[in-house]
Homo-oligomer: A and B are copies of this chain.
Amino acid sequence: MAPDKLSEFGLIERFFAPIAGPAGLGLKDDAALLQVPTGHDLVTTVDAIVAGVHFLPDDPPATIGWKALGVNVSDLAAKGATPLGFLLTLGLPPDTEEGWLADFAGGLGCAAALWQCPLVGGDTVTMPGPLTLSVTAFGVVPSGAMVRRSGARPGDIIAVTGTIGDAALGLPLLTGARTALAATDRAYLIDRYRRPRPRIGLASLLRDHSSAAMDVSDGLLGDATKLLAASNVGGVIEAAAVPLSEAARHVLEADPLSLERVLTGGDDYEILCTIPAEKWEPFAAGAAALEIAVAAIGRVTGEGALQVLGPHGPLSFARLSYTHFSQDRP
């Protein structure tokens, strides 16, 4: 953006003050001021997304804003936290256009309103490189009730929310993969890639019933491996039990090898959790009452690596998840 068009101050005033919450002090001070209710802890997380690495430079700007917040609110939800607000760091290439910013702030504001997680502050800098966003999200949990990665115990049920693999199947549709998919399936999978729906509704059920939880961002199998390792346990996941959308089923029918992408591709922003067996019924009933799909996909075992079972025995994959230090995506 040319300096004579819009100053940093003008940009904040015009696009971001309208989506700010009271803790942001009108975005006119040096810091945000958050009240954590007595008897609660603050949970905080940060995730950065970079054009060409975490989203496509020509993704609709409204979905970029949505996703930047969504991936962080998803972490809060997985920890059993209720969103309180977020800080935004925006690294803008000099040629960023006002129309882009207006759409970006629109999508961000919509997501913030939906998840009751208002903007409370941030920083805007010139970026002589790709558009870069970093969101720090804040949430609260009753003291001591944050759900960790490290609480899984042998015998616990391994569960996930929603469906897995949609976003990972949506991405190649945007980068030119040829497909005979129906238009509705295409649109569904692409939207799942661009607009994660953090499972904030599940936070209180997770606090009450889960022994460990995290969100699925880097790939189901890799994330499950991390959770089990943090808990010093092993586990078994049945591939056939992993919940799939209708669109994902259609992809798999045409190309069964896509199963690896489904299980390891990531960007799901669903919740992976472990539930002690005796708590499974009340957990599942509570989720059903909230109209959030949960599926049991495996069991926690004693020590050892994660095993993935297919119809004819253990499956193995070249890799378990996306890592930011491999260079093949997107």
Q: Are B44 and A31 in contact (CB under 8 A)?
A: yes
- List the B side residues contacting A59 at CB < 8 Å: none
Give the interface size bracket for A toward B.
35 or more
Q: Are B28 and A45 in contact (CB under 8 A)?
A: no
**A46–B8 CA distance with the chains assembled, in angstroms:** 15
Q: Are A30 and B215 in contact (CB under 8 A)?
A: yes
- Please report whether the interface of chain A is mostly helix, strand, loop or mixed according to DSSP: mixed
A29-B149, A325-B6 known; A46 vs B132 contact (CB < 8 Å): no
User: Min CB distance, A123 to chain B, in Å?
Assistant: 5
Q: Are A42 and B33 in contact (CB under 8 A)?
A: yes
Interface flag for A258 (CB, 8 Å): no
- List the B side residues contacting A128 at CB < 8 Å: 50, 52-53, 129-130
Query: Which of B1, B30, B122 contacts A79, CB < 8 Å?
Result: B30
Interface flag for A323 (CB, 8 Å): yes
User: Min CB distance, A138 to chain B, in Å?
Assistant: 7
Query: Which of B1, B30, B48, B143 contacts A75, CB < 8 Å?
Result: B30
Interface flag for A173 (CB, 8 Å): no
Interface flag for A190 (CB, 8 Å): no
Interface flag for A32 (CB, 8 Å): yes
**A279–B41 CA distance with the chains assembled, in angstroms:** 36
Interface flag for A121 (CB, 8 Å): yes
A43-B31, A148-B29, A325-B8 known; A126 vs B50 contact (CB < 8 Å): yes
Q: Are B230 and A46 in contact (CB under 8 A)?
A: no
